[in-house]
Chain A
Amino acid sequence: RKEVEQDPGPFNVPEGATVAFNCTYSNSASQSFFWYRQDCRKEPKLLMSVYSSGNEDGRFTAQLNRASQYISLLIRDSKLSDSATYLCVVTEGSSGSARQLTFGSGTQLTVLP
């Protein structure tokens, strides 16, 4: 079983739609959570961190559910420019060891005109 699992998609949605992605993680000791965005043939870039209380950045909302061990990303009013692959990232400890960082395989989103 993968430590971090994401639905690979693809999710094809019309402009203006609301779309949500989930990511599940297996280690209950996981402590930090992030969403990264990766455009086709480009490097990943941080989209947002995910906090226990949930957080919002414009059209993007991230939620964490520790009891069920999943994090979610909600995109409202989708734009064509949101088309990308969204990577879920989980860290497993507070010691800062890089070996504790795990990336999901990504969820592909295409926003259609």
Chain B
Amino acid sequence: DAGITQSPRHKVTETGTPVTLRCHQTENHRYMYWYRQDPGHGLRLIHYSYGVKDTDKGEVSDGYSVSRSKTEDFLLTLESATSSQTSVYFCAISLRASTDTQYFGPGTRLTVL
């Protein structure tokens, strides 16, 4: 299994609070991604990174920001959580390009009350 961890694995928070999710990889892969998965929608890309300090928006980026200061860490921040951001969040990595095989972390279950 690819060395990808996510923290926390579960979180319950209240509307309006800031939340940061962490993705850590030990594979030295260049590309990292944050997805959310909701019933009936499949995986939707929030943001991705193609290198340290290089990030770009995905399909559903509103309300989210990211940072990548080191190759191994990719942080996803919800500045002010809303109930619509209740979801399962997956981090993924790939070696050379987004069209490469993506390896996923175990996921974070976030509930915003």
Contact = CB atoms under 8 A, between A and B. Distances in A.
A96 B95 CA distance: 12
Nearest to B101: A46
A89 to B, nearest CB: 8
Interface residues of B, number: 27
Interface stretch (A9-17, A63-71, A74-82, A100-108): A100-108
Contact of A98 (B58, B104, B106): B58
Interface in B1-60: 31, 33, 35, 40-45, 48, 50, 56-59
A31 B98 CA distance: 12
Contacts, number: 61
Interface string B54-85: 00111100000000000000000000000000
Given A42-B106, A44-B90, A96 B43 contact: no
A103 B99 contact: no
Interface in B93-110: 96-99, 101-107
Given A98-B33, A98-B58, A99-B56, A106 B42 contact: yes
B81 to A, nearest CB: 22
- Is chain A's interface secondary structure helix, strand, loop, or mixed overall? mixed
Nearest to A43: B104
A99 B45 contact: yes
A97 interface: yes
Classify chain A: how many residues form its interface, as a range: 20 to 34
A72 interface: no
A96 B97 contact: yes
B58 A99 contact: yes
12 contacts: A31-B99, A42-B106, A43-B106, A46-B101, A49-B101, A91-B98, A96-B96, A97-B98, A98-B48, A99-B56, A99-B59, A100-B98
Given A4-B42, A44-B43, A94-B99, 6 more contacts: A8-B40, A32-B99, A87-B43, A98-B98, A99-B59, A104-B42
Interface of B: 31, 33, 35, 40-45, 48, 50, 56-59, 90, 96-99, 101-107
Q: Which 3 A-B pairs have the closest CB atoms?
A: A96-B97, A98-B98, A43-B104
